[in-house]
Structure 1
Amino acid sequence: MNKIDTIIFDLGGVLIDWQPEYVFLDEFNGDRKKMQWFFDNICTSDWNENQDAGYPMAKATEERVALFPEHEKLIRMFYGRWVEMLGDAIEGTVKILDKFIKSDAYKVVALTNWSAETFPIALDRFDFLQWFDGIIVSGEEKTRKPFKEIYDLTLNRYNIIAENSIFIDDNLRNIEVAKELGINGIQFKSPEQLIQQLKHYNIHL
């Protein structure tokens, strides 16, 4: 096994809690089934990811309202109340990040699907985002995970050897593409599980 010298963190769902339901569950009076229908059919994850890849949020909102005028109020809430969907730091993972930083034995970067329009809000809120050796924000690069170009961009920009790196992401789809490129991958489920998985790479925190 190659010696790991670089750790690549996803942000949302790994280090930062982000949940649209923080806004929408109240709007649907606690009815998760109706809320999920809305996310599956109106403000879908594919639609949101298009903005993560650099599409303007205001334009995306107007286009969606034109398609589904009967849902206008809810559609406008998606980005209009986006800041309320941003939860707290996932403290257990932040502690893991802190240990990597303090060990000084690893290059530590972030690779996130995040709109360039809203990422400054996260930068202001979470001090640990200043700890990274670099952050690739999909919205700034006009592409996103799981497209291979954003992984290649990350490897090239920070002089990372794929086989010597580990990518930590909560989305299995993103991990699978990383592995195709030779990057080691861990699907994040909890800080405790991450610590156990890292031991497979002889990393003991």
Structure 2
Amino acid sequence: MTEIRHIVFDIGRVLIHYDPNLPFSRLIPDAEQRKWFFDNVCTHDWNIEQDRGRTWEEAEALLITEHPDHAENIRNFRRLWHEMVPHAYDDSVQIMDKLIESGHDVTMLTNFATDTLAEARQRFDFLNRPRGVTISGEIGMIKPERGIYDHHVAVFGLEPAATLFIDDSQKNVDGAKAAGWQSVLFTDAKTLEADLKRYDVAF
């Protein structure tokens, strides 16, 4: 096994909590109606395009044309985004901090819209501690596309085989492995600690 010299964190659901249901459980109290809204209006596929760089104005206009009766809640998706990210995972953040303090090279690679990540970095200062971050919304590529991993390697001078990527999505983990990285699926901090020990990463 190649010695790990670079550690790359995902952000959402690894370092900070993310759940669109938090504000929308108040806005659309009926669970079936809320599920319909997320399945048919503000869908995952619609939201991921903002992570690829589409502006919220363009995204909202597109949906409001298709679903004019839901215009207010379409706008609420961005307007109430701060409620979707209520807190950090302190135990995960502690691991990241210890890795940095121990001298490990830590960066971040995330599917995120540029404006919402800027907001998150103001609220959660620990997101400014790693050496840097690749933001999908800035470069027009999203995980698990091969190009975003290669971009991160080139920008931060990483050796893929010596890089360990931590992400909560199996597709993104598989994408990292296809790009020649080592990668683990994040489920909780305790499991991450065990994974780091398995890769002989001391902190």
- Tell me the amino acid that sits aligned with residue 45 of structure 1: H
1:204 Cα deviation from its structure 2 partner: 4.3
The CA distance in 1 between the partners of 2:96 and 2:138, in whole Å, is: 23
1:85-134 Cα distance to aligned partner (Å, 9 max, x none): 12211101000001100100x21000011111222111111111121111
Pairs within 5 Å for 1:51-200: 51-104=50-103, 106-200=104-198
Secondary structure, aligned partner of 2:62: helix
Query: Which residue of the partner structure matches residue 21 of structure 2?
Result: 21
Secondary structure, aligned partner of 1:100: helix
Structure 1 length as normaliser, TM-score? 0.95
- Tell me the amino acid that sits aligned with residue 153 of structure 2: L
Secondary structure, aligned partner of 2:115: coil
Q: Do the aligned partners of 1:168 and 1:175 also contact (CA within 8 Å) in 2? A: yes
Q: Which runs of 4+ in 1 moved over 3 A?
A: none
The CA distance in 2 between the partners of 1:125 and 1:99, in whole Å, is: 20
How many residues end up aligned between the 2 structures? Answer: 203
Secondary structure, aligned partner of 1:157: helix
The CA distance in 1 between the partners of 2:143 and 2:180, in whole Å, is: 15
- Tell me the amino acid that sits aligned with residue 92 of structure 2: T
Secondary structure, aligned partner of 1:17: coil
Query: Percent of aligned pairs with the same residue?
Result: 36
1:200 Cα deviation from its structure 2 partner: 1.7
The CA distance in 2 between the partners of 1:198 and 1:34, in whole Å, is: 42
* 1:6 aligns to 2:17 (yes or no): no
1:138-159 Cα distance to aligned partner (Å, 9 max, x none): 1111221111111100001111
The CA distance in 2 between the partners of 1:153 and 1:87, in whole Å, is: 30
The CA distance in 1 between the partners of 2:173 and 2:105, in whole Å, is: 19
Aligned-residue RMSD, C-alpha? 1.2
The CA distance in 2 between the partners of 1:144 and 1:28, in whole Å, is: 30
The CA distance in 1 between the partners of 2:105 and 2:35, in whole Å, is: 39
Structure 2 length as normaliser, TM-score? 0.96
Secondary structure, aligned partner of 2:17: strand
Stretch deviating more after TM superposition (193-202 or 42-51)? 193-202
1:34 Cα deviation from its structure 2 partner: 2.8
Q: Do the aligned partners of 1:195 and 1:204 also contact (CA within 8 Å) in 2? A: no
The CA distance in 2 between the partners of 1:186 and 1:35, in whole Å, is: 32
Gaps of 5+ in 2: none
Gaps of 5+ in 1: none
